[in-house]
Amino acid sequence: MTGFHTTGLGRELLNAVEQLGFTSPTPIQEQAIPIILQQENDLVALAATGTGKTAAFGLPILDLIDMNQRAIQALIICPTRELARQIHSDFDSFSTDKSGMGICAVYGGASIQNQIRDLQRGVRVVVGTPGRLSDLIQRGVLDLSAVKHLVLDEADEMLNMGFKEDIEYILNETPQERFTYLFSATMPAEVRRIGHNYLKNAVEIAVKKRADDVSGIEHLYSGIQASDRLPALMRLLDSQPNAYAIVFCRTRKDTQQVGDALSQAGYPADCLHGDLSQAQRDQVMKRFRTKRITVLVATDVAARGIDVDDVTHVVHYHIPDDLEAYVHRSGRTARAGKSGISIAFATIRDKSRLKDLSRIIGKEIKPFHLPSGEEVCTIRLQQELKSITELEPDMNQVNHMREQMAELIPDLSEKDLADRLLYKALHDLYDRYAKAPDLNLELYLGKNSRDAGSKKKNKSDRDERKHQSQASSFTRFYINVGKKDDVNPNRLMGFINEQNELKGSAIGRIEILKTFSFFELDSSLTDLAMEELNGQTFRGRKISLSLAEAPTKPVARKKLKGVSFGDRDRGKTNFKKPRHKGKSRKRY
């Protein structure tokens, strides 16, 4: 297909496409637009973020709107306010030649009264999040009785966020004679069930993001201890002084803590998550787009709908549990034909997931060695000197400054002044990295990990861990659950690994007794373990954790048989669940 003129779109929409600079449709647009325009079938489209799906449903729907009817004819349901606002903006751009279209976006975190007033003025298209749409329907201010076109955008994400009941409630408030278009990056069973129950005579199309669409992304991982994530992030940013980065964290709490820590340490950073008000979120995004801040720390959900072309780095502070989310995150860089870097902080526990990610993206995820403190200082010094040498000063101003300097500090030579200015610019960095430790942890992901050299290295690592254990590199903890709470070593290890910051931690000897237990954990995680585990609930008990003294004599093996892990088991915390293969039938 050479252009949009063969899709069947009307002249007004073709003009809008041309003004926006679109030359030819993407694969999803090429397939979806004619299906929607024909008004004969519902549609199920498997399409990832970045494939052009908003235009795929937006252009034909706008072309079909009856401008003589002042009622809501199209409803687009999406998971987040950011995406709702982005779709609203795109629809505005598409409908420039259809004046008076009337498009309204409704979502939480903004004034519901203002949204009610917008609806009461009369609109033909509504874009909204499930929670706010349900609220407006229950208030009796959102009439969907005339809806002809309904879009479920990012259906899998909406279900993951717990919007199943809201979606079904909204669908039941729309006419049965509507056309429904379901767009989803993946097709889990629950999404397929909604398709089966609410779509009729649906056509299914699937468009994967082409490999060459992400050819500009370099995929890297940095092997680290879980407790070293924040210093690793700071070291990465210090070694990439021109980075314009988005850092993805797993939870809102993590996002706020990382954003605050970076800001307090002097980095131009801020955070974006669901606990912020809409005004706060708008302000953060404005600062990021204008590059007043160059590091945005965000959750996956909050980052939906962010469209910034110049992002150079995507940092996965935590590798997401849903591996598809890694692909969506990484797609925030290398846009508009540019290159970018996606780097994941990986612990021992993440080894298998890194291999799965490599399979999903069809690319090798290469190791990235975090620079030493000395290397960071050298990089920054080179950057500072380069920026100075590239300056083209106004010599009249320079001469005037020299005259003033001679008067104000007559005993200071120009060389001494240059030395002091350079010291002022970099001494904080040099002080920070004067005794910086090596943060790199070798994970041995490659095919060579099983050769003789790797085996020798792995044996050396085991010997080293054993030596470290004997040198008290593990801290012994008391925990107030035991055999009577149906606790065993595997369950206790699983509980420890459930805590975000303790995943993949090196775990030493575990002793399960009747009413309490002891376990050993890497000593560097002592404070973190106390903070993460105390007060949690485990096997129905509120956890009380405290430090315990090391046993004065070896524990008798026969008394702990079956309930104790010795040195040979340290660090083995990556248990895999069995996989069950099967195929789902497509029913629509």
**Domains of the chain, earliest start first:** 4-209 (3.40.50.300), 212-370 (3.40.50.300), 374-432 (no CATH), 465-569 (3.30.70.330)
The Cα 202–Cα 43 span in angstroms is 5
25-43 burial: b if 16+ Cβ within 10 Å, else e: bbbbbbbbbebbbeeebbb
The confidence score (pLDDT) of residue 19 equals: 83
% the chain with pLDDT above 70: 84
Q: Which residue has the higher pLDDT, 538 or 256?
A: 256
Sheet of 295-299, strands arranged across = 269-272, 295-299, 245-249, 313-316, 340-346, 217-223, 366-367
- Tell whether the model's pLDDT for residue 23 goes beyond 80: no
CB atoms within 10 A of CB 97: 15
- Helix H or strand E encompassing 517: strand 517-522
Average pLDDT over residues 20-26: 81
- Tell whether the model's pLDDT for residue 89 goes beyond 60: yes
CB atoms within 10 A of CB 282: 14
Lowest mean pLDDT: which of 4-13, 73-82, 200-209, 461-470? 461-470
* Closest to 174 (Cα-Cα) out of 103, 83, 39, 72: 72
pLDDT tens per residue, range 539-581: 778 899 988 876 654 444 333 333 333 333 333 334 343 444 4
Spatial CB neighbours of 531, under 8 Å, sequence gap ≥ 6: none
Lowest mean pLDDT: which of 244-253, 267-276, 469-478? 469-478
316 backbone dihedrals φ, ψ, rounded to 5°? -95, 90
pLDDT tens per residue, range 45-64: 998 766 788 999 999 999 99
Q: Which residue has the higher pLDDT, 401 or 66?
A: 66
Q: What mean pLDDT value characterizes the chain?
A: 82
Spatial CB neighbours of 527, under 8 Å, sequence gap ≥ 6: none
pLDDT tens per residue, range 92-116: 989 988 888 999 999 987 889 999 9
Lowest mean pLDDT: which of 68-77, 135-144, 451-460? 451-460
Average pLDDT over residues 470-496: 81
Average pLDDT over residues 176-193: 90
The confidence score (pLDDT) of residue 526 equals: 84
The confidence score (pLDDT) of residue 279 equals: 87
The Cα 24–Cα 279 span in angstroms is 37
The Cα 270–Cα 287 span in angstroms is 9
- Which band of pLDDT confidence, cut at 50, 70 and 90, is reported for residue 527? confident
pLDDT tens per residue, range 199-253: 999 999 988 654 335 568 999 999 999 889 999 999 999 999 899 999 999 888 9
pLDDT tens per residue, range 514-526: 889 999 988 878 8
* Closest to 152 (Cα-Cα) out of 50, 44, 72: 44
- Tell whether the model's pLDDT for residue 85 goes beyond 70: yes
The confidence score (pLDDT) of residue 332 equals: 86
CB atoms within 10 A of CB 294: 21
Rounded to 5 degrees, what angle do the CA atoms 258, 261, 264 make? 150
Amino acid at the residue 249: C
Spatial CB neighbours of 349, under 8 Å, sequence gap ≥ 6: 497, 503, 504, 573, 574
Evaluate whether 329 touches 248 at the Cβ level (below 8 Å): yes
Average pLDDT over residues 463-487: 69
